[in-house]
A and B are shown apart, each in its own frame.
Chain A
Amino acid sequence: MRTFFVFTREQMHTRTQIKKYIMRKFYVLLVSLFLLPLSVLAQKTIDGVVLDENGEGAIGANVVVTGTTHGTVTDFDGHFELSIPDGKKQVTISYLGYKTVTVTAKPNMKVVLETDALEIEEVVVTGMYQQDKRLNTGSTTRLDAEKTKLDGIADISRSLEGRAAGVSVQNVSGTFGTAPKIKMRGATSIYGSSKPLWVVDGVIMEDVVEVDAEALSSGDAVTLISSAIAGLNADDIESFQILKDGSATSIYGARAMAGVIVVTTKKGKAGTSKINYTGEFSVRLKPSYNEFNISNSQEQMNIYREMEQKGWLEFANLAKANTSGIYGKMYQLMNTLNPDGTFALANTTAARYAYLREAEYRNTDWFNLLFRNTIMQTHSISISGGTDRARFYTSMSAMYDPGWTLSSDVQRYTVNANASFDITKRLTLTLLTSDSYRKQKAPGTLSQDADVVTGEVKRDFDINPYSYALNASRALDPKQTYTRNYCGFNIFDELENNYISLGVTDVKFQGELSYRPIKGLELKALAAYRYQSSTNEHFVKDQSNQARAYRAGIDPEDATIRDMNPFLYTDPDDENALPQTVLPKGGIYFLRQYKMSQFDLRLSATYNTAIKEKHILNFFAGMEMNSTDRNSISFDGWGFCYDDGGTPFTDYHLFKQQVEEGSTYYSNSWRYARSMAFFATGTYSYLGRYNINLTGRYEGTNGLGKTVNARWLPTWNVGVSWNAHEETWFEPAREVLSNATIKASYSLTADRCPYGYAYAEPAFMAGTIWRPNASAQEIGIDLELLGNSELTYEKKYEFNGGVSLGFLRNRINLDVDAYYRDNFDLIGPTYTTGIGGESIKYANVATMKSSGVEVTLSTTNIKLGEEAGNFRWTTDFTFSYTNNKITKLDSRVNVMSLVSGSGYAREGYPVRALFSIPFEGLNDEGLPTFLNQDGVVTVTDINFQEIENTSFLKYEGPTDPTITGGFGNVFSWKGFTLNIFMTYSFGNVVRLDPVFSSSYDDITALPRDFRNRWTLPGDENKTTIPVIASTRQVKNYGSYNLATAYNAYNYSTERVAKGDFIRMKEISLMYDIPHKYLSKVALNSFSCKLQVTNPFLVYADKKLNGQDPEFFNSGGVATPMAKQFTLTIRAGF
């Protein structure tokens, strides 16, 4: 019994039910016709029960005395009674969707039917109702969770990569809790997130914070809670249903423009009691320098030597520099007196040489020091069972991850329970709860910032172990303290003193009541409440570099540093004020809290009927309401003395400074989403051959502001399909072509406008108005956005056509879908005369077109019998191609936006298009030259702010892949299963890490590319790696200009790679111990599986040099997906 929606089998399998209904009537007639004359001949009467594979009574199964036309049908509980004529010993039992069996008749017999492989996937679960797949006209894919699941990967959304055609999953970060970038059929909005909707057991999983698709790769702490389903235990999931086109998603209307992923959790079954245990043990490999292109310490010291010769790394500049490493430390040691009066490092050439030579041989392996080979464990236990009236499934799981890096660990506990009870035969109550708690540690981080002045994306105080290992010079001594922010810095001390502790509570309570007053009609009510709270505490302890940076120059006192340190405060009201610290003691306690409460109510009715045994009709209609309240609180506790037992010690200057600078130490803000919808869908089918589906939905939201006109929107869908295999003339072909369906749909779907861009009514927001002094400040209300009475939803017309074919009794299954989408009324900028108060408005002015093809091919290549150990080889191949093009958009953007990593929207190009500055080779000084906005070859005259003349930039490609898919092979023999699964992705471009600069410091690691750098005139003919600029060159060109040149090089045609890759995602070997060995030890089933996840890239652009094409190395809390080994043990009792 699927208790997801409390349907009886009868109502779920519409077609089955109808056939059964027809058959039953027919047989009742048949039986009454034949029973009378035959009764004289009756020798004996047997009775029995026919059960399906779930142990439930098969209603309306056909029981016929073999070789005769004499028979009966089973009743509601699967019971039957049949008289057996003399000489007949066997009965044949047939039931649609199950293998027909012939068994010896005996009294009180019990027959358990086996499902027929042909009939798998016969149901489409839309999350609201279920439909016979053969009546479905939309593009959907159903994935069995057991086959999809990646053991050792706790977040189930990651396991969808490469599994379903049309779904692209990009693991932009591998840290637990961060969501992968999932796109279904590409982008559907220019400024909106284009994220698919997650529906778990009929309830939409709202995000606690709305992190848009591009911000997922930011590495900010908030990404740790960006995955709405991180609280779901993978073992509780039964299946995924992926709804792709407008026909499939239309019942969700304006929420589902970017597709829907329906997750169904496991349910208890009547008559079977089970207890299952799953244990997963994973070990992750430490990254290795072999994979990357980082200079070793010898190469690095060579570069430093050249920098030294070119006038960098001089004593005067480095001794009190903001940041310094090897050389800075050397100068500091030369300045440090030992107690015995000697210097820590003698100022002699020999001593210096010895010091530098030591560094040269150091070859610190940061990866080895910052990463750990710990064992990550997940244990889950589930108990399920049921009687004919009640069914239950309960599970608990614990995940314990001691951490791959020195500063990451996760513990997650989940509970999932659902129970359903048939109060009467007509009334069923189902209760569900799904709860989780997560505790996680991450390295301390502030938000990523784009410096609007230089365009540089940076993060202050970044201590992400992965990016540290990539960026820290290998010549550094891991035990030594170097300088960052004018004070001592050692990564291990900092990781201990500066970290984030995250606690996430997620609970969901759900109740469903189902009432079946008459045959075929079901009324349902569903109510669910979900609460999620995430507490993100960032501890910046007293001795951390980040805290000490706020007092560098004051404590210890140093007038030079004091005058340079930007973190100090100078009182503007005091004429003679010197810079002072606002953090004289203690550290900082940053608290970010995000809370969400979500309430859903849905009332619906389903009616399924068949008229004259030919006309099958399905109706579903209902209404739903959703309210989601989000609250975010921030609090910055300055001067929190961790060392003194957590005493706040606040300096009043801090408040003075904050008032003067317009910042605050706390904030609290709310967001409210309300929506209401009415919907209906109806399907008519003639004999299951010709189907037509109509869906309409009328939906309202408060997202457009307080308006009555704009907030309601109707959406609709028309779908048709033809099941050729249901035609009578098709019968002879069945052995070869066993299944053939053609379908088409046309729909209008929509999405709410992205938050914050436009409202139907003017939006007023209160805030403090900036004034030069605190005494002149006042609270004002600002007109944030003008009202736009013409505002409407972003919309999409979609045409979808599909063919699905099954050959050789479905040993070969081929599904092909093609779609064309016309997105219109998209929110985009428009330039107005500005007389209303806004020169640039966001309105429904942009359009976009997209199209694509999706192919799924599953084959059973070899299928041998028992004598060959049931050897079986199956292959699954998915392929999807999608492309989109903005057809109308008036975006006037500057060069910086067009060339930076995530790309930018521009008319005539894909939604995220990446451009490059054309590189024109090195000049005779080794400096890079470019073609600039005026068509002139130049070193420095590149204007990153240029808006008018951007046509000189070279279009590189989209940043989202256009081709994605997976290729899996499963070999099974006896109890062994070998699974080899690869994913691939093609068509996008990746910006290489911006490593070049007009000046480098002595703490950063530089890539190996520097070996080929320009060193002597003439090298410009051999290399494209620019020279390490000398101080003289900086002086000649001006530091700003030369910085521009090197920055331009980072964003030039030289620094782009293809994002194409083929990844070996999973290799696993499983052994299922045969039942016969298990019965002795009270086990029902036992298997163990060894799996390697992400072992290697089969193919990637060589230019990437180890940079993972999926991963965005943005620091903060981002880490890539690890290579890991997982041992999984499953036991059932």
Chain B
Amino acid sequence: MRKKIYIFIALVIGLTSCGFLDKEPDNRTSITTLDQVKKLLANAYSTADFAWICEFSSDNIVDNNSEDGSWTRYNLSVHKGEVENEVFAWQPAVSAGSSDGDSPVSIWSRAYKAIAVANHALEAMDEIEKKDSTVNCSEARAEAYLARAYNHFVLANVFCMAYRDSALSSLDKGVPYMTVPEKVVYSNAERGTLTQLYANIEKDLLKGLEHVSDNYDQPKYHFNKQAAYAFATRFYLYKRDYDKVIQYATMALGTNPMGCMRTEYWSKSYSTQEQLLFAYSNTQSPNNFLLTATYSTFYRSLNGRYACNRQASRASIYGQGPTWQGYTFHPCYQKVQGLYLRGSQDYGLFYVHTGEYFEYTDKVAGIGYVHNVNPTFTGEETLLCRAEAYIMKGDYAHALADLKVWDESRKVGTTENLPALTESAIESFYRSNPVDHGTVVNRATQLHCSDMCPSWTIDSKQLLWLNCVLHFRRLETIHQGLRWFDIKRYGIEIRHKQGLEPEKILTWNDPHRAIEIPSTVIEAGMEPNIRRGTVTDDAVVFTGSCIAQEEE
């Protein structure tokens, strides 16, 4: 009898200890090898797109429902997207659905999701290295650090005010910097300051740059070397550390920047929109440093009430520039399927790379996901970052060289005889066009550098050149959302006219320049950018310190 009980106990202990219950409930994987870590890191890139919310906040979009020059209003049929109205009015996007790929909550949570992936990967690598010290994880670690830094950088750009300097930005709110996987239901983290956020991003960025490699199955969808340097370029540009901008941009572009331009694309003809789209997001194209596949219906929101139309299009892709006289002359507009795919007087223009890809989940029902492939870092944008840095350093010769490369790269397919970009062409054009088709308040005074940061001063020549580089950046990054960050960085004041309401101007210090963090996040206890209910948010006066103002 006793013997039986012993056998029974032995059996029980045997079963418990041999890990009977350790069986995974399905065919999920656990991350135990470096190869698995690398596969995991393929998901350390956010699938949300900030382009839509940033474009709608910027001066690249107008409301067709407001009167045009001849007092006509377009596209008045019932408008479904309340959230578009909110964003265009620089109000919190409270109507945005959580599953909507372009909503603030999506940008927020998908960036943090990508960060969580990076953190899990880093944790897994600690374990792997602990078990087997011969495994070298440095390259995968580099990718994890870069991805973590970049996703926080996106959050900083979207949800915080623009970086000013370490002292002033320590008065502005940041977002929580996550470095470990979350293991409980609710984790409490303070938002911290923007200065701290930038310091953390820089720390990870530098760790990532140290071991970054090109060893990927799909290098263009991962932080390869060029992408990492381009990220560093943009980061230091926004941080106004111009030497580093030049240093990293040069590392990304190499000795022949023209080789990093999208010249092949501009020189070719395509017969369908799909062809154009595939060519734009081609992994073989030398100018695509980093591509990100996102879920976005941005393209669908451009054919309705809001569009790149009227003054927004004339100030950008439909207008003139220092070497071209209106849309018919600049090469990238000439082709039938060139810069924009479709366009009409009433509805505005569509730029090619906003076109969508459709992934069917059910072909029969015609249901699926709408994707956008976002050229996150490109040769052109990196080049224009360097040009801007040269201007800020007063190195106009180098600045002109870079601006010229960009200008020339767009002329490759043209038969027109367009003038070359020169110093005088730049200065005369931007001197004689002080009002940018009314999208910004006044080009001549648009840059509020010293208001943003008293130590940041520019002279009148720099102003003209900066207008040029900002104009080129606006064209280059149209419908990608980066224009909004330029508007924030320079305190550019822009106008929005919504329906029949009076025109609103976004002043250089308006706290709405930091897009409000998602309402669900606020409800869950995160500190909002602007505390509602205490002051009417329209009446908020910027006092140079968000925190001071928040504390009442």
Please give, as numbers and ranges, the residues of chain B lying within 8 Å of A781 by CB-CB distance.
29, 31, 36, 39-40, 42-43
Please give me the residue from chain B that is nearest to A446 by CB atom: B364
For the complex, give the distance between the alpha carbons of A675 and B23 in Å.
10
State whether the Cβ of B257 lies closer than 8 Å to any Cβ in chain A.
Answer: no
Partner of A766, one of B23, B39, B221, B366: B39
Given A451-B367, A623-B12, A676-B21: A837 touches B182 (CB 8 Å cut-off): yes
- Determine whether the beta carbon of A789 is less than 8 Å from that of B183: yes
For the complex, give the distance between the alpha carbons of A673 and B23 in Å.
8
Please give, as numbers and ranges, the residues of chain B lying within 8 Å of A1080 by CB-CB distance.
none
Please give, as numbers and ranges, the residues of chain B lying within 8 Å of A44 by CB-CB distance.
none
- Determine whether the beta carbon of A776 is less than 8 Å from that of B360: no
- Determine whether the beta carbon of A776 is less than 8 Å from that of B21: no
- Determine whether the beta carbon of B20 is less than 8 Å from that of A676: yes
Given A523-B4, A830-B185: A839 touches B105 (CB 8 Å cut-off): yes
Please give, as numbers and ranges, the residues of chain B lying within 8 Å of A833 by CB-CB distance.
176, 186-187, 189, 521, 524-526
State whether the Cβ of B78 lies closer than 8 Å to any Cβ in chain A.
Answer: yes
- Determine whether the beta carbon of A663 is less than 8 Å from that of B363: yes
State whether the Cβ of A782 lies closer than 8 Å to any Cβ in chain B.
Answer: yes
- Determine whether the beta carbon of A772 is less than 8 Å from that of B357: yes
- Determine whether the beta carbon of B109 is less than 8 Å from that of A670: no
Q: How far is the CB of B276 from chain A (nearest CB, A)?
A: 10
Partner of A787, one of B95, B183, B189: B183
State whether the Cβ of A39 lies closer than 8 Å to any Cβ in chain B.
Answer: no
Please give, as numbers and ranges, the residues of chain A lying within 8 Å of B186 by CB-CB distance.
830, 832-833
For the complex, give the distance between the alpha carbons of A572 and B31 in Å.
36
Most chain A beta-carbon neighbours within 10 Å: one of B105, B220, B362: B362
- Determine whether the beta carbon of A773 is less than 8 Å from that of B278: yes
- Determine whether the beta carbon of B293 is less than 8 Å from that of A772: yes
Partner of B78, one of A845, A948, A1041: A1041
B-contact bits for A760-780, CB 8 A (1 contact / 0 none): 001111100111110111111
- Determine whether the beta carbon of A945 is less than 8 Å from that of B97: yes
State whether the Cβ of B518 lies closer than 8 Å to any Cβ in chain A.
Answer: yes
- Determine whether the beta carbon of B293 is less than 8 Å from that of A836: no
Given A446-B364, A575-B270, A834-B109: A674 touches B21 (CB 8 Å cut-off): yes
- Determine whether the beta carbon of B218 is less than 8 Å from that of A676: no
Given A781-B40, A836-B112, A945-B97: A700 touches B181 (CB 8 Å cut-off): no
For the complex, give the distance between the alpha carbons of A453 and B365 in Å.
11
Interfacial residues of chain A within 60-119, with CB under 8 A of chain B in the complex: none
State whether the Cβ of A795 lies closer than 8 Å to any Cβ in chain B.
Answer: no
- Determine whether the beta carbon of A671 is less than 8 Å from that of B181: no
- Determine whether the beta carbon of B28 is less than 8 Å from that of A764: yes
- Determine whether the beta carbon of B40 is less than 8 Å from that of A764: yes
Please give me the residue from chain B that is nearest to A549 by CB atom: B364
Most chain B beta-carbon neighbours within 10 Å: one of A452, A759, A772: A772
Interfacial residues of chain A within 1001-1054, with CB under 8 A of chain B in the complex: 1038, 1041
- Determine whether the beta carbon of A839 is less than 8 Å from that of B521: yes
- Determine whether the beta carbon of A705 is less than 8 Å from that of B116: no
Given A770-B359, A1038-B77: A672 touches B26 (CB 8 Å cut-off): yes
B-contact bits for A827-849, CB 8 A (1 contact / 0 none): 00011111111111101010000
Please give, as numbers and ranges, the residues of chain B lying within 8 Å of A771 by CB-CB distance.
218, 221, 293, 373
Please give me the residue from chain B that is nearest to A773 by CB atom: B278
- Determine whether the beta carbon of A790 is less than 8 Å from that of B25: no
Interfacial residues of chain B within 95-144, with CB under 8 A of chain A in the complex: 95, 97-98, 105, 108-109, 112-117, 120
Please give me the residue from chain B that is nearest to A701 by CB atom: B21
- Determine whether the beta carbon of A670 is less than 8 Å from that of B43: no
For the complex, give the distance between the alpha carbons of A185 and B347 in Å.
59
- Determine whether the beta carbon of A451 is less than 8 Å from that of B25: no
State whether the Cβ of A349 lies closer than 8 Å to any Cβ in chain B.
Answer: no
Please give, as numbers and ranges, the residues of chain A lying within 8 Å of B539 by CB-CB distance.
none
For the complex, give the distance between the alpha carbons of A675 and B16 in Å.
11
Interfacial residues of chain B within 1-59, with CB under 8 A of chain A in the complex: 1, 4, 8, 11-12, 15-16, 20-31, 36, 39-40, 42-43
- Interface residue total, chain B, C-beta cutoff 8 A: 88
Please give me the residue from chain A that is nearest to B520 by CB atom: A831
- Determine whether the beta carbon of A702 is less than 8 Å from that of B21: yes
State whether the Cβ of B217 lies closer than 8 Å to any Cβ in chain A.
Answer: yes
Partner of B30, one of A663, A764, A838: A764
State whether the Cβ of A603 lies closer than 8 Å to any Cβ in chain B.
Answer: yes
Q: How far is the CB of B14 from chain A (nearest CB, A)?
A: 11
A-contact bits for B347-371, CB 8 A (1 contact / 0 none): 0000000000101111111111101
For the complex, give the distance between the alpha carbons of A769 and B360 in Å.
14
Given A702-B23, A778-B42, A830-B185: A837 touches B520 (CB 8 Å cut-off): no
For the complex, give the distance between the alpha carbons of A430 and B350 in Å.
77
Please give, as numbers and ranges, the residues of chain B lying within 8 Å of A706 by CB-CB distance.
22, 24, 30
State whether the Cβ of A661 lies closer than 8 Å to any Cβ in chain B.
Answer: yes
State whether the Cβ of A458 lies closer than 8 Å to any Cβ in chain B.
Answer: yes
State whether the Cβ of B274 lies closer than 8 Å to any Cβ in chain A.
Answer: yes
Q: How far is the CB of A611 from chain B (nearest CB, A)?
A: 21
Most chain A beta-carbon neighbours within 10 Å: one of B24, B40, B115, B217: B24
For the complex, give the distance between the alpha carbons of A453 and B362 in Å.
13
Interfacial residues of chain A within 415-463, with CB under 8 A of chain B in the complex: 446, 449, 451-453, 458, 460-461
For the complex, give the distance between the alpha carbons of A706 and B29 in Å.
11
Please give, as numbers and ranges, the residues of chain B lying within 8 Å of A663 by CB-CB distance.
360-361, 363
Most chain B beta-carbon neighbours within 10 Å: one of A675, A755, A837, A840: A837
State whether the Cβ of A173 lies closer than 8 Å to any Cβ in chain B.
Answer: no
Interfacial residues of chain A within 935-970, with CB under 8 A of chain B in the complex: 940-941, 943, 945, 947-948
- Determine whether the beta carbon of A672 is less than 8 Å from that of B16: no
Interfacial residues of chain A within 655-669, with CB under 8 A of chain B in the complex: 661-663, 669
Q: How far is the CB of B17 from chain A (nearest CB, A)?
A: 12
Q: How far is the CB of A204 from chain B (nearest CB, A)?
A: 17
State whether the Cβ of B271 lies closer than 8 Å to any Cβ in chain A.
Answer: yes
Given A623-B12, A663-B363, A1041-B78: A837 touches B115 (CB 8 Å cut-off): yes
Q: How far is the CB of A838 from chain B (nearest CB, A)?
A: 7
For the complex, give the distance between the alpha carbons of A783 and B112 in Å.
12
Q: How far is the CB of A1091 from chain B (nearest CB, A)?
A: 43
- Determine whether the beta carbon of B25 is less than 8 Å from that of A703: yes
For the complex, give the distance between the alpha carbons of A782 and B31 in Å.
10
Given A781-B40, A837-B113: A948 touches B94 (CB 8 Å cut-off): yes
Please give, as numbers and ranges, the residues of chain A lying within 8 Å of B117 by CB-CB distance.
782-783, 837
State whether the Cβ of B344 lies closer than 8 Å to any Cβ in chain A.
Answer: no
Please give, as numbers and ranges, the residues of chain B lying within 8 Å of A461 by CB-CB distance.
364
- Determine whether the beta carbon of B25 is less than 8 Å from that of A672: yes
- Determine whether the beta carbon of B42 is less than 8 Å from that of A769: yes
Interfacial residues of chain B within 359-414, with CB under 8 A of chain A in the complex: 359-369, 371, 373
- Determine whether the beta carbon of B40 is less than 8 Å from that of A669: no
State whether the Cβ of B435 lies closer than 8 Å to any Cβ in chain A.
Answer: no
User: What are 9 A-B pairs at a CB distance below 8 A?
Assistant: A706-B24, A769-B42, A770-B371, A771-B218, A778-B221, A780-B42, A832-B186, A837-B117, A840-B98
- 19 more contacts with CB within 8 A, not counting A453-B367, A764-B120, A843-B185, are A603-B8, A670-B26, A674-B23, A676-B20, A711-B21, A762-B120, A764-B28, A766-B29, A769-B43, A769-B221, A779-B39, A781-B40, A783-B113, A787-B181, A837-B109, A839-B521, A945-B97, A948-B95, A1041-B78
- Could you list which residues of chain B lie within 8 angstroms of chain A, going by C-beta atoms? 1, 4, 8, 11-12, 15-16, 20-31, 36, 39-40, 42-43, 77-78, 80, 94-95, 97-98, 105, 108-109, 112-117, 120, 175-176, 178, 181-187, 189, 217-218, 220-221, 270-272, 274-275, 277-278, 281, 283, 291, 293, 357, 359-369, 371, 373, 518, 520-521, 523-526
- Could you list which residues of chain A lie within 8 angstroms of chain B, going by C-beta atoms? 446, 449, 451-453, 458, 460-461, 517, 523, 566-567, 572-573, 575-576, 603, 623, 625, 627, 661-663, 669-676, 678, 700-703, 705-706, 711, 755, 759, 762-766, 769-773, 775-784, 786-790, 830-841, 843, 845, 894, 940-941, 943, 945, 947-948, 1038, 1041
The 10 A-B residue pairs whose C-beta atoms are closest, nearest first, are: A836-B182, A837-B116, A780-B42, A839-B109, A837-B113, A834-B109, A781-B39, A781-B40, A843-B185, A661-B360
